[in-house]
């Protein structure tokens, strides 16, 4: 079975790819360069499925390009992807969001070290609660 973290991010990339395809179908971008970009995006999907480490730079490059080439959909880029690929992608995240993801990583590491289950989505929701709210 594949790594659940990689599977989570592959699902997010496939979702983002669907948005990119819809953008092209709506004829809101130059067709030729957009098709080439979607092809490179497909390369990222394949690369991540094969080797997480080797796909990092391509992921950083393409996610940054999504934000700069398609500013109309920048708000739809899943934040988990920006954190996962890191590097220049982190420039598009405010400090408080980076802090949240650092806490998530610490919780995930702690859970792994203690052979405890860890649900990324649930933990992210718990951390996002206001300070006055109940936490586990």
Over residues 12-31, the pLDDT tens digits come to 999 999 999 999 888 877 77
Q: Look at residues 82, 48, 105 and name the one whose alpha carbon lies nearest to residue 124.
A: 105
Per-domain boundaries in the chain = 4-77, 94-136
Over residues 67-117, the pLDDT tens digits come to 999 999 999 999 999 999 999 999 999 999 999 999 999 999 999 999 999
Q: Can you read off the two tokens belonging to residue 18? A: 């669907």
Q: Can you read off the two tokens belonging to residue 72? A: 């109309």
Burial class (CB in 10 A: 0-12, 13-18, 19+), 38: middle
Q: Can you read off the two tokens belonging to residue 22? A: 């819809």
pTM of this prediction exceeds 0.85:
yes
């Amino acid at each position: 079975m594949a790594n659940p973290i990689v599977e989570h991010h592959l699902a997010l990339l496939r979702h983002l790819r669907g948005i990119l395809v819809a953008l092209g179908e709506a004829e809101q971008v130059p067709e030729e360069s957009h098709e080439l970009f979607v092809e490179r995006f497909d390369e990222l999907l394949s690369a991540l499925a094969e080797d997480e480490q080797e796909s990092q730079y391509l992921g950083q490059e393409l996610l940054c390009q999504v934000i700069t080439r398609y500013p109309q959909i920048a708000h739809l880029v899943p934040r988990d992807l920006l954190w996962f690929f890191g590097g220049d992608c982190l420039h598009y995240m405010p400090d408080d969001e980076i802090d949240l993801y650092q806490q998530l990583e610490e919780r995930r590491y702690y859970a792994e070290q203690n052979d405890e289950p860890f649900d990324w989505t649930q933990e992210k929701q718990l951390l996002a609660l206001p300070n006055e709210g109940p936490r586990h």
